[in-house]
Structure 1
Amino acid sequence: MTKTPTRWRTVVALLAAVVGFVGTAATAVPAQAAQPAPAGPPRMADGFGLTQVDTTVGGPTNFYLTVTTPEVTGKHHIKIILPSGYYDDPARRYPVLYFLHGSPDDPIQQTYPALTTSNAMITVIPDGGPRGWYANWLNQNTVLGAQNWENFHLNQVIPFIDANLRTIATKKARAIAGVSMGGFGAFHYAQDRPDLFSQTASLSGDIDLSADSMDLRLAAVATLVDAQGVVCASASGFCDPNNDPYKPGVDSDALFGSPYPVFNVDWRWNAVDPSQHMDKLAGVGVSVYVGNGRGVPTDLEFWLEGASKHVKDRMDALGMPYYYVDYGDGSAWGTQCNGGHTGYCWEQDLRDLIPRLERAFAS
């Protein structure tokens, strides 16, 4: 009768020894140490049709690359803004905001302070060209060469970023927003690939290119054919007539075919017009920001307000949820925004949008 307790004492001792060993081993493994922040931008590996050329410029959390791609002729910048704590936790992954610039800007010019405020997401600003219109052009044989901007962004830039940075590579953790021409691009891409994006936002975007907004359609055509006087007048000071970004001009049909609404020859324009296809954004968070240009028809914002209202009416008819801000003459923002087509207003749009995106990503 005395042997059983002895055996149990032996078993308990062995178990205690095993537990002690496991506990010691577990505590002996140090926590994953933070990576020291590099002195400059992180290394990015070529791939997905992108080849890096020239030197990457900037610091460890705010820099830009220069790449080439067979999809679009020339060299193209991709600006990347990482959270300030990106190197503190090498196991942490982040959602991504893809931010599309307007015409005739460049990623390097996107210096809105609001874009650097987030510690919860990565921001990527790819080149869209001075008049690329975030589309695969119908005519690939103009003097400009290959113009497959949608392929470049959706099939190359996004997987390139996911492969090189600690992203959360899911629809829920990916948003796309844009200014002016980029507002069109943001809605167009989200409509074409709703599987990629959970949120989309237009900041003073050309989101109605239908015959209901022929003024905006013709403004897009003006960038193609290099109607310099029209473009510079509508760009509210962003276009320097002595340094024309729209040269050389191309045919008005190069982008989406004939833009003229006669006998339905403009059907390709209608096919890509965001306002006519808002149903494709079911399940995607939609945000629209616009001013009124102070009621001055020479300010592009005056016409964009009408376009945004058309989109709002379409969403109301569909019973879609959305977030809509018409800040009028800008007094609602209480800053230098005067309701015009200006960066002062877009900075305030972004200060409202970015915390909302962070909350959506975290939900």
Structure 2
Amino acid sequence: MRSLLSGALVRAKAAAAATAMAAALTVFAAPVAHADAPAIPSFTDGYGLTQVAGASEVHSATDFTITVTTPQLSGRHKIRIFLPSGYAADPGRRWPVAYFLHGGGGTVDDAAAAPALHSDSMITVVPDGGLKGWYANWAMQNTALGAAHWETFHIAQVVPFIDANLRTIADKSHRAVVGLSMGGYGALHYAEFHPDLFGHVASLSGGIDLGMPAVRAAVVATELNITGAWCAVSTSGTGRCPAYGPYVDSDAIFGSPYPVLGADRLWNEVDPAATANLARLAGHDITLYTGSQGPVDHFTEIAAKNVKARLDRLGLPSRFVDYGNGATMGSTCNGGHNYGCWAPALADYIPRLESAFRTTS
């Protein structure tokens, strides 16, 4: 463990030097709304969120992005929303909601790489998770990124904001949280720590076992903006190396990663694979996907197997799909850490989620 992390620390200066170049990259540039753009629902500020005037991006009447500010986070943050095609035509109907959490180095626009997320049976909300937010309220709030209360932003602000502004069915039986890679961690963590909000959870190639040195090293690599092996497996789907923003301290998110004299207390408290945390998922619909190929999914497969085994020991039902080399996921999947695998995995999962929502209507 120490050798993995110390190597990352040594390369920190090089990572910081690359930050300026990385900042110039943009991913999935989206059109900004014009006067003749399709009409989209209006949103009222609230729950600590303030919309940025003129910053909406309209792809269609059922696919748009709003931009908000909040004291919980520095800067502006996007929320992309997919509405069912019948949303406007049936004003008396309410809809279930799936929250999709993108991966590290990604953006809300990554969701466009998985067409299944744009469902006619539910609303899909894709909130910004930061380049390396890890869906956490950071231990350090004085880094180059400033305020970083990502969990508070999503749970205490975005969820009630969406329920207040869209016609949702606002109960856990009709609310899901789904994520991949970094977002796979976020999905399982949110479902565990907020079981009253989410009745359905799915993690795809998630970093869901913080007890594994390789997973801790991956988190630290994003803090230090060291891409390394991640360069070849960008979650953005653009083929470019992902950038994780400015360098921050290796203890910034979860505190010290070293298991010495309890220094890694926060890592252990929020570890999705911890038995005590998994026990909170009693009664939930749980799904895990992973491949087994490449420098990342080699480890996400181990993490998913660890979680599945502990769920089984707890007697909690779950569905585990290990697609290995990707052959079972179709011609686009090579079993690695990419949307060539995640898009068909979501195409497999979303109809199952839609069916689960219907059975609880």
Give the TM-score category using the shorter length: 0.7 to 0.9
Distance 1:362 1:146 in 2: 39
Matching residue's letter, 2:268: N
The reply on whether 1:167 has 2:163 as its aligned counterpart is no
Whether the 8 Å CA contact 2:131–2:245 is kept in 1: the answer is: no
Residue 47 of structure 2 corresponds to which residue in structure 1?
A: 48
- Change in CA separation of 1:42 and 1:264 when aligned onto 2, cut-off 3 Å: same
1:145-156 to structure 2, matched below 5 A, reads 145-156=146-157
**Deviation string, structure 1 residues 108-130 (Cα, Å, up to 9, x no partner):** 222111112x2111000000000
Task: From 246, 260, 277, give the equivalent of 1:262.
Answer: 260
- Change in CA separation of 1:228 and 1:324 when aligned onto 2, cut-off 3 Å: closer
The reply on whether 1:355 has 2:325 as its aligned counterpart is no
**Deviation string, structure 1 residues 180-223 (Cα, Å, up to 9, x no partner):** 0000000111111000011000011111111xx11111111111
Distance 1:234 1:89 in 2: 41
The CA deviation at 1:264 is: 2.2
SS of residue matched to 2:65: strand
Residue 72 of structure 2 corresponds to which residue in structure 1?
A: 71
1:176-325 to structure 2, matched below 5 A, reads 176-210=177-211, 213-229=212-228, 231-232=230-231, 235=234, 240-241=240-241, 245-276=243-274, 277-293=277-293, 296=294, 299-325=295-321
How many residues align structurally? 317
SS of residue matched to 1:182: helix
54-63 or 99-108, larger mean C-alpha shift: 54-63
Matching residue's letter, 1:290: T
Greater Rg over alpha carbons, structure = 1
Distance 1:172 1:161 in 2: 16
SS of residue matched to 1:110: helix
Whether the 8 Å CA contact 2:233–2:338 is kept in 1: the answer is: no
Distance 1:144 1:341 in 2: 26
Distance 2:230 2:221 in 1: 6
Distance 1:238 1:90 in 2: 37
Residue 116 of structure 2 corresponds to which residue in structure 1?
A: 114
Structure 2: gaps spanning 5 or more residues: 1-36
CA RMSD of aligned residues (A): 1.6
SS of residue matched to 1:327: strand
Matching residue's letter, 2:82: I
Residue 25 of structure 1 corresponds to which residue in structure 2?
A: none
Whether the 8 Å CA contact 2:330–2:344 is kept in 1: the answer is: no
Distance 1:240 1:251 in 2: 25
Whether the 8 Å CA contact 2:192–2:278 is kept in 1: the answer is: yes
The CA deviation at 1:240 is: 3.9
Matching residue's letter, 2:322: D
171-180 or 38-47, larger mean C-alpha shift: 38-47
Residue 339 of structure 1 corresponds to which residue in structure 2?
A: 335
Matching residue's letter, 2:246: P
Whether the 8 Å CA contact 1:101–1:178 is kept in 2: the answer is: yes
- Change in CA separation of 1:104 and 1:355 when aligned onto 2, cut-off 3 Å: same
Distance 1:113 1:292 in 2: 23
Whether the 8 Å CA contact 2:73–2:148 is kept in 1: the answer is: yes
SS of residue matched to 2:217: helix
**Deviation string, structure 1 residues 208-252 (Cα, Å, up to 9, x no partner):** 111xx11111111111022243542564886745xx622421111
SS of residue matched to 2:266: helix
Distance 1:259 1:199 in 2: 30
SS of residue matched to 2:288: strand
281-290 or 223-232, larger mean C-alpha shift: 223-232
Matching residue's letter, 1:126: P
Residue 329 of structure 1 corresponds to which residue in structure 2?
A: 325
Matching residue's letter, 1:251: D
- Percent identity, aligned pairs only, is 53
Structure with larger RCO (C-alpha < 8 A, sep 6+): 2
Whether the 8 Å CA contact 2:104–2:244 is kept in 1: the answer is: no
SS of residue matched to 1:275: coil
Structure 1: gaps spanning 5 or more residues: 1-37
